[in-house]
Amino acid sequence: MSRIINSGLEELSATLHKMGELAYHTVLAALRECVENRDAYNEIREMSEALVSMADHVEDRAFELIARFQPVASDLRTIKSYMKIAYDFARFGRYALDMSYANQKFGGIRNCEAWIISHVKDMGEKTLSMIRLSIDSLRSHDSQLAEKVTQMEEEVDKMYFDFLDKLIERADITTRCMVSSVLIVRYLERIADHATYICESIIYIATGKKVILR
Amino acid sequence: MAPKFEIEDLNAWFGTKHVLKNINMKIEENAVTAIIGPSGCGKTTFIRCLNRMHEITPGARASGKVLFNGLDIYGDGVDPVMIRRKIGMVFQKPNPFPMMSIYDNVAAGLKLNGVKNKKIIDAAVRRSLELANLWDEVKNDLNKSGASLSGGQQQRLCIARALAVEPEVLLMDEPCSALDPIATAKIEALIRKLAENYTVVIVTHNMQQAARVSDYTAFLYLGELMEYGPTKQIFENPKHELTEKYITGKFG
């Protein structure tokens, strides 16, 4: 017989999966906007706002489950972690919106030098694949899959610092390109960190162990 | 949707003791309503007023209106036996008829109501036991004594017995207080399932149980209805200070 807390947990999990997909598409839209000549600000803002209200909903429902069902052990770990993960997904949306704002203000990087565009694209792809990994490990509470984020996080960090090192040695870059690209890689680095937090939460749900993958 | 019960100025006494004071509330159909409150606050008396069981106690009386599907059950000419058939009751201690088999326990209400057709009774017994999530556990032992079952099974047998006469409402008075946590979890899951088709009113000392199973919660204190609302609201953000004190255990 199904436990009465189950329907609440299933609803939370379904909302989180929706959030994951939406967060992925929000970041994707912001990345495309950096290099393509398109204005996606309003679309990204709507998605980002939807993520915030979904995170509020998850928090409310998680609160209700705690108040009503006295969850313990894996149920309690799951609910606590779902609240954190909802916040992480909402952050993806927020950083995507910040990226889009910078694109609007400084014109993105589409007119910058090829090596800048290529570096940002690579780092964007790596970051998106970290988001995908976090969504996939959430789906099955798969801690082994979640652990794979560590290496990707190191790579993104390295790309971030390499980019800054390279940029600072180049006197020929316009200020506009400099500011735009630095903001974008900075936001990507933050997104990658939040994807890592999600993977840490998955490991906590699955094993009860608090690990730091960064 | 119209409420299942509309209770207007309900008062109840045992002799000169005034145990329920001007209760006004509506109880929603196909939902679980929990009645909580400290011992002696009138919880049990309240639900016994909903199917005219209160008046069975010598010296007990009630006044006010209890509209059930719009009909005042205390109105002139209303047959209390008919009311109790529509509004069944499950008690604190599982009380299967000890000399009867499992089958006969469930069939008892139907037989009392004059049903004689064996096929109809067979079908009703099976349907009721299935509804009570007990059929799979007892289907090969229907002739065994009801008293031979475990406490949790006996309570589900009592629920099946109540369901057999096709009531619209189940009143439950502390149905899990004599049961262990596993048996309690089964009854709670059953209550949620029943709420899809029945109106359930449950009295419980266990606030966590009220939080888990109910859609609406009423807090009674010294015979008065202090607060009543959606369970989520009562347990997350109660309006009344006494409710807050009671549910957080800061009483007295």
* Confidence at residue A1, expressed as pLDDT on a 0 to 100 scale: 62
CB–CB of B211 and A68 under 8 A? Answer: yes
For residue A171, name the pLDDT band (cuts at 50, 70, 90): confident
**Interface membership of B52 toward A (CB under 8 Å):** no
Amino acid found at A206: A
- Residue B65 C-alpha, separation from nearest chain A C-alpha, in angstroms: 32
Over the stretch B115-159, which tens digit does the pLDDT of each residue have?
999 999 999 999 999 999 999 999 999 999 999 999 999 999 999
Tell whether A72 lies on the interface with B, counting CB pairs under 8 A.
Answer: no
Mean pLDDT value of segment A99-104: 94
Decide if A3 and B213 are in contact by the 8 Å CB cutoff: no
What is the pLDDT averaged over residues A31-52? 94
Which of residues B153 and A172 earns the better pLDDT score?
B153
* Percentage of the residues of chain A whose pLDDT score is greater than 70: 100
Cα–Cα distance for residue pair A206/A3, rounded to 1 Å = 19
Residues B87-113 have a mean pLDDT of 93
Question: A4 vs B189: CB contact, 8 Å cut-off?
Answer: yes
Starting at the edge strand found earlier in the chain, the sheet holding B71-72 runs B17-27, B5-14, B60-68, B71-72
**Scanning every residue of chain B, which has its alpha carbon at the shortest distance from the alpha carbon of A65?**
B212
Strands B199-203 and B32-36: parallel
pLDDT band (50, 70, 90) for residue A37:
confident
Q: Exposed, middle or buried, A196 (CB in 10 Å: 0-12/13-18/19+)?
A: buried
| All domains of chain A in start order, with CATH | 6-207 (1.20.58.220)
Give the residue on A whose Cα is nearest the Cα of B231. A68
CA distance B198 to B118: 26
Closest among A141, A153, A137, A146 to A193, alpha carbons compared: A153
Q: What is the mean pLDDT of chain A?
A: 95
Complete domains list, chain B, with CATH: 5-247 (3.40.50.300)
Residue A76 pLDDT more than 90?
A: yes
What ipTM does the predicted assembly reach?
A: 0.73
Do A63 and B236 make contact, defined as CB atoms within 8 angstroms?
A: yes
The answer on pLDDT for A214 being more than 90 is: no
Q: Is there a contact between A83 and A62 (Cβ–Cβ < 8 Å)?
A: yes
Query: Cα separation of B168 and B85, whole Å?
Result: 9
pLDDT of residue B188: 95
Contacts by B80-83 with C-beta closer than 8 Å and gap 24+?
B80/B51, B80/B52, B80/B55, B83/B51, B83/B52
pLDDT band at B252 (very low <50, low <70, confident <90, very high): low
Q: How close, in Å, is residue B58 to chain A by CA atoms?
A: 39
Residue B38 has pLDDT above 80, yes or no: yes
pLDDT exceeds 70 at position A124: yes
Render pLDDT for B197-231 as a digit per residue (tens, 0 to 9). Answer: 999 999 999 999 999 999 999 999 999 999 999 99
> What pLDDT, on a 0 to 100 scale, did the predictor assign at position B168?
97
Q: Is the pLDDT of residue B186 over 80?
A: yes
- Is the pTM here over 0.95, yes or no? no
Contacts B192 to A, Cβ<8 Å: 4
Query: A161: closest CA among A130, A134, A192?
Result: A192
